[in-house]
Structure 1
Amino acid sequence: MERRGMDPDGFFEREGSLGRIQPQFAPVVAAARTRIGEAYGPRLHSAYLYGSLPRGAGRPGRSDLDLLLVLHREPCDQDRDTAEVLARGLDQDFAEIDGVGVLLSGKDRLLSEQERYDGGWFLACLCTPLLGADLAEHLPRYRPDSLLARETNGDLAELLPRWRASAAAAATPRERRALARSVARRLVRTGLTLVMPRWGGWTSDLTEAAEVFGRYYPGRAAQMRAAAAVALDPVADPAVVRAYLEDLGPWLADEYTARHGTKTPRD
């Protein structure tokens, strides 16, 4: 029987572990652990990996390093500046990765009722502990239901204007590729969570996610498969992102709202 990322009781299994990290990525993960501790010291509550590396699906020279850093208090400008320096240093020092993403959050926010089915779910189900005490111990178990779909990706309509502004401002091939990867990833994951309650499962594999989506929306399947390909191998052609923002993105936002509603406004 296909488990689809669920345990036998129908709850999400936590994906990824430090034991799945491929040997070629071990040095960068070790360096990240050391540098995070040095950079944040007592401000840091815990640190986590997410994405392809802890799933054992990293591609040398093409995968990025994704980090979630949880602080004892809400991040300030100094914390964000520190994250930029940390990310830039790791990216420059290790050819095995292509970019570093650092998410910052305060501990209380992640444990709040408001974030329970968004940031809390993300940490508990998609993040692998790297440093500190695991906050997942204070969070519930999760099922792939419409509430989770709404609170994770029910804000796509709000993102579209921001992406349009970013597309207009992207001036270099590197900036355009980064935007294409970011937008394509979000669209594919939103497509998956759109159908997640009906499918009854989860996958972080973008190619698989696009295929699952296509079972329920065959008329949009080719577009979503193409978006998954761009998410894995981004392109600098601005026409690619323009198509997302003029067609697939608005359609997906409308369909999502009709089926699951919109995300609860955040403070």
Structure 2
Amino acid sequence: MSESASTGTGTSDDRGLSPDGTIRREGSLSRVPVVFAPVVEAARARITEAFDGARLHSAYIYGSIPRGTAVPGVSDLDLLLALRAEPTEADRAAARTIEAELDSSFGQIDGVGVLLAAAETLTSTFERNDLGFFLACLCTPLLGEDLAARLPRYRPTPLLARETNGDLHLLLPRWRRRSAEAATDAERRSLSRGVARRLVRSGFTLVMPQWGGWTSDLTESAEVFARYYPDLPERIEQMRTAARTGRAPSADPAVLATLIDDLAPWLAAEYLAVHGKKAPRP
């Protein structure tokens, strides 16, 4: 990839950074493609109906839709709800209802994911360089007070790399179990999408401090990884496969096996060797 190629969050000339060298917030409601505007408005309405002000602090949209790169019929809708207290089972049930209603109502999207977290957790010291970074830099405000005002400006540091993806090794048993239990193509596609995206993002953050910037674009993330592992062509090709799978999920068991049983263990071990383990949470 040439140095002038687009990152999806800016250009590779600025590498997703503001003039002061901090990571620029990558999304905006003004970037939402026209075809997805009704989806976003419906999400806003359904969230408001399901969660009153006593329960909901704020809501955010993230992913390709607010970045302006979503593809109709292919991209999914990703939402984060910051609650005034820790999520309850009733909150999770309401989130599942929102997911199902939006997914069935709009052909523009292929799946909906609603994350729930307490506002206090999102802004806590122990989540400062993980969920806090996620909210401040990767999420676009949709409803309520923006919690990013309570968080610092972030730089592409080894600390950020460790805290965002230094727990990859902990996911491997769960992924293997889900892969073994997947009985339908839909289940395998869903798993392949999530696994592939996490692996590409971990591959990118592995080398992020050296590259000195930020991108959420899967293709560029894989190519940035490739720059720093030129002597491992097999891993580069696997990372490129993961980037393609993250955009267009696969139900092929062989693809899942490559990602979960080959690329993931190597990447997890390399990540621990380079950045160490993510700090334990309370």
TM-score band w.r.t. shorter chain: over 0.9
| 2:222/2:236 contact within 8 Å kept | yes
3-state DSSP class of the match of 2:116?
A: strand
Match of 2:40 in 1: 29
| 2:195/2:260 contact within 8 Å kept | no
Q: What is the correspondence of 1:108-187 to structure 2 with a 5 Å cutoff?
A: 108-187=120-199
Distance 2:149 2:246 in 1: 32
Identity within the alignment, %: 63
| 2:172/2:260 contact within 8 Å kept | yes
Q: TM-score, normalised on structure 1?
A: 0.99
Q: What is the correspondence of 1:33-72 to structure 2 with a 5 Å cutoff?
A: 33-42=44-53, 43-72=55-84
Of 243-252 and 59-68, more deviation after overlay is shown by 243-252
Does 2:85 match 1:73? yes
**How far did 1:67 drift?**
0.2
Distance 2:105 2:260 in 1: 34
**How far did 1:95 drift?**
0.5
Distance 1:19 1:86 in 2: 23
Alpha-carbon displacement from aligned partner over 1:186-209 (angstroms, at most 9, x marks no partner): 000000000000000111110010
Q: How many residues align?
A: 267
Distance 1:47 1:170 in 2: 31
**How far did 1:221 drift?**
1.3
**How far did 1:217 drift?**
1.1
Match of 1:229 in 2: 244
**How far did 1:246 drift?**
1.8
Q: Give structure 2 stretches of 5+ with no counterpart.
A: 1-11
Match of 1:100 in 2: 112
Distance 2:276 2:115 in 1: 26
Distance 2:260 2:42 in 1: 37
Distance 1:243 1:235 in 2: 12
What letter matches 1:234 in structure 2? P
Distance 2:201 2:191 in 1: 15
**How far did 1:8 drift?**
1.5
Distance 2:190 2:158 in 1: 30
Q: Give structure 1 stretches of 5+ with no counterpart.
A: none
Alpha-carbon displacement from aligned partner over 1:158-199 (angstroms, at most 9, x marks no partner): 000010011111110000000001000000000000000000
What letter matches 2:276 in structure 1? G
Distance 1:169 1:246 in 2: 15
Distance 1:108 1:232 in 2: 32
Pick one of 74, 85, 88 that aligns with 2:100. 88
What letter matches 1:8 in structure 2? P
Does 2:24 match 1:18? no
| 2:238/2:259 contact within 8 Å kept | no
How much is the aligned-residue C-alpha RMSD, in angstroms? 0.8
Alpha-carbon displacement from aligned partner over 1:35-72 (angstroms, at most 9, x marks no partner): 10110112100000000000000100110000000000
Match of 1:214 in 2: 226
Distance 2:21 2:272 in 1: 25
Match of 1:266 in 2: 281
Q: TM-score, normalised on structure 2?
A: 0.93
Distance 1:32 1:160 in 2: 32
Runs of 4+ aligned residues of structure 1 deviating over 3 Å after TM superposition are none
3-state DSSP class of the match of 1:95?
A: coil
**How far did 1:10 drift?**
1.0
